[in-house]
Amino acid sequence: MPMIQVRDLTKRFARHTAVEGVNFEVGKGEIVGFLGPNGAGKTTTLRMLTGYLPPTSGSAEVAGFDMFRNSIGARRQIGYMPENVPLYHDMRVREFLKFRARLKGLSNRDARTRVNDVIETCSLGSVRRKMIKVLSKGYRQRVGLADALVHSPELLILDEPTNGLDPNQIRQIRELIKRLGETHTILLSTHILSEVEMTCGRVIIIDGGRIKAQDSPKNLVTNMRTAGKVLVEIAGDAAVVGAALSRLDHVKRVTHREAGGNWVAYEVLVESGTDARERIHELAAQYGWPLRSLLRRSATLEDVFVELTRRD
């Protein structure tokens, strides 16, 4: 049985349809990235999955519990960390987590045990007695994650868990999510696609309220007709060189920028599965253009994302 099973999920607000006919599954033990541009329907979908919003139509099950017929049973299986973590800033970390554990139905004894566990898991030991209002953004995110974990849920739903963090804090949260993925199913919404490639085994991309693609990051890059890029620096007239590069087979688009002196850096967008480096080298040799660098950049998950969601 899948941990999450969504069927024809739809949400309308007056005349606006935020989510329309969404279908997907998340298996037990998976870490799945849930991606989409702003306004795509990500957060609305997550709020329906966690019981914060009722759907207009469709169904969603979490660990076999129907979210809309047995909301309490489903919610007991979920640890939800929203994008803007709601915290009581005038409470101490340990006090807040125990309060949250009791709200989630744990006995006083179990609450103490679980609070100790999540403080250790989320590396909050050094701040456990501090007021939440004096914590850095990174530590507040950890407190929010500890809150999501305190009742031992099977499923974690994390909405932008690295929002507003610096690169070091992002790395720490990423490693924590990887560790949590060993014992939990995780549905992760984020705009940082490099994090998804390093963390998630599967990706779901939503845009305009509809699912555009779902597969492993590697398969999405391989199977989508996503263009690759060749980066080249050539000394010469930019208009002449750019026009010559554009005429090469399998070249889709050429852009350029000044690179200092007579050098111009070109970004050559090529069709998926092609490599124009040899032909560019031959072209430079034919016309006697000095060539300083020539390298290929393979398509990435970011390229797939842009291709599926761009408006132009």
How confident is the model at residue 308, as a pLDDT? 82
Q: What is the pLDDT averaged over residues 138-165? A: 93
pLDDT at 193 > cutoff 90? no
What integer best gives the mean pLDDT of the chain?
91
Tokens matching residue 171:
């790395």
Convert the pLDDT of each residue in 100-117 to its tens digit.
999 999 999 999 999 999
Among 68-72, 155-159, 189-193, the range with the most confident prediction by mean pLDDT is 155-159
Domain positions in the chain are: 4-221, 224-309
What CATH number labels 224-309? 3.30.70.120
Determine the pLDDT at residue 238: 93
Rg (CA), the chain: 24
**Location of structure tokens 């060749």:** 230
Q: Which residue has the higher pLDDT, 226 or 74?
A: 74
How do residues 222-271 score in pLDDT, each as one tens digit? 776 556 789 999 998 999 999 999 999 889 889 999 988 889 999 998 88
User: Which residue, chain included where needed, has tokens 């030991």?
Assistant: 125
CATH class of 4-221: alpha beta
Q: Is the pTM of this model over 0.85?
A: no
**What string of DSSP letters covers 293-307?**
EEEEE---HHHHHHH
